[in-house]
Amino acid sequence: MPFAGLLALLILLSCRGGAALADAAGLGFGIIATSASQTLLDAWRPLLADLSAFLGESVSPRIYDDYAGVIWAMAAGRVQVAWLGNKSAIEAVDRAGGEVALRSVDPAGRTEYYSHLLVRRDSGLADVETVFARAGRLTFGDGDPNSTSGHAVPAYYLFASRGISPRAVFKRVVSGNHEENFLGVGTGRLDVATGNSVDLARQRQRYPGFARDVVTIWTSPPIPSDPIVWRADLPAGLKDRIRAFFLGYGRAAPDKPATRLAHERKILAALSRSGFEASDNSQLTPVRIIELYREKLRLASTSGPDREMRRKRLETIEEQLRRLLAMQANM
């Protein structure tokens, strides 16, 4: 058997064994390194320790430098639950047997957040139009290709809608996580970069020296809050217990002592959250629509010998958009 076929078979077998792996060896919980790995681990470990105690089995945090890593790990059965962005959740659902289970609630009670374009206050870049006018002299900090707020949303609203790509207009493009982009702008290493409202609030607290220096000049339409995704093949009883833990975490209950409630809320505050609410794959619809529009714009502006292939793909995209837009209208 060719190596590629053997690898695909091994991943398929790993996927089928994912639920059993969760029962036998505990849960692997995937975390994306949107900022410094140790910082994220320090923030998530207390919550996952509480989850472990609630479930009565081990829950192991596993941090990944990029979204592709955690998606592969879920497909291979190395993680059973993961904190993802909406775009990476699409990949997990479509390619790794994932299923959206929950989404986070921010400290103000919102279940949405925003993508931003960041610059230094003293940069002279007061708005998006000025950025594009000077783009040939600027270094742009893009996000991970599978990041919703760091890449997909700005790529559509700022670039695809104008029929351009960052690499075609900026002097230099650098990809990084949200913290790297914030620090890049703060130190002047980057002229302009993507970010988001949740991470920006956290970074301004963590790096107060840059809190005033880094400002936003563009804010996207609202984005559904980051989801928690689990493998769809986890046992139903385990899903129920995981869901019950997250839905009750940080919320008052008649049998919950005040000290316990304060403990949970302190942990959530370190994660810039006030709790979680139930969700499902339908929350991915707005980002699926953005991704299809981006591909449509790219194909419509492309020329070459594969004209018939592009035509067929455009027809497929139009049909998918009609279906998704109808779903969105009924949400």
Which run of H or E residues covers position 268? helix 258-270
Q: Do residues 280 and 327 lie in contact, with contact meaning Cβ atoms separated by under 8 Å?
A: no
Question: In this predicted structure, what is the pLDDT of residue 306?
Answer: 82
HSE of 152, CA atoms in CB hemisphere, 13 A: 24
First-last CA distance in the chain: 46
Extended strands (E) in the chain:
27-32, 59-64, 81-83, 98-105, 112-113, 115-120, 139-142, 172-175, 192-196, 214-219, 223-224, 227-231, 275-278
Burial (CB count <10 Å: 0-12, 13-18, 19+), residue 255: exposed
Residue 107 to residue 158: CA distance in whole angstroms: 28
Paired tokens of 212: 């005033």
Question: In this predicted structure, what is the pLDDT of residue 331?
Answer: 67
Extended strands (E) in 238-292:
275-278
Question: In this predicted structure, what is the pLDDT of residue 132?
Answer: 96
Question: In this predicted structure, what is the pLDDT of residue 25?
Answer: 60
Kindly list the strands in the beta sheet with 115-120, ordered across the sheet, starting from the edge strand earlier in the chain: 172-175, 139-142, 192-196, 115-120, 214-219
Residue 103 to residue 182: CA distance in whole angstroms: 24
Burial (CB count <10 Å: 0-12, 13-18, 19+), residue 26: middle
Question: In this predicted structure, what is the pLDDT of residue 103?
Answer: 96
Q: What are phi and psi of 122, to 5 degrees?
A: -95, 15
Closest CA relative to residue 171, chosen from 126, 131, 143, 144:
131
Q: Do residues 230 and 239 lie in contact, with contact meaning Cβ atoms separated by under 8 Å?
A: yes
- Provide the b/e sequence for 148-158 (b: ≥16 CB within 10 Å): bbbbbbbbbbb
Question: In this predicted structure, what is the pLDDT of residue 154?
Answer: 93
- Tell me which residue has tokens 């047997």: 97
Question: In this predicted structure, what is the pLDDT of residue 317?
Answer: 87
Instruction: Return per-residue pLDDT of the chain as tens, 331 residues.
Output: 333 333 333 344 333 333 334 434 689 999 988 777 888 899 999 999 999 999 999 999 999 988 899 999 999 999 999 999 999 999 999 999 999 999 999 998 999 999 999 999 999 999 999 999 999 999 999 998 888 899 989 998 999 888 888 999 999 999 999 999 999 999 999 999 999 998 999 899 999 999 999 999 999 999 999 999 999 999 999 999 999 999 999 999 999 999 999 999 999 999 989 999 999 999 999 889 888 888 887 787 677 778 888 888 888 888 888 888 887 777 6
Residues with Cβ within 8 Å of 138's Cβ and at least 6 positions away in sequence, in order, are 125, 131, 170, 171, 191, 192
Residue 79 to residue 229: CA distance in whole angstroms: 10
Global pTM exceeds 0.85: no
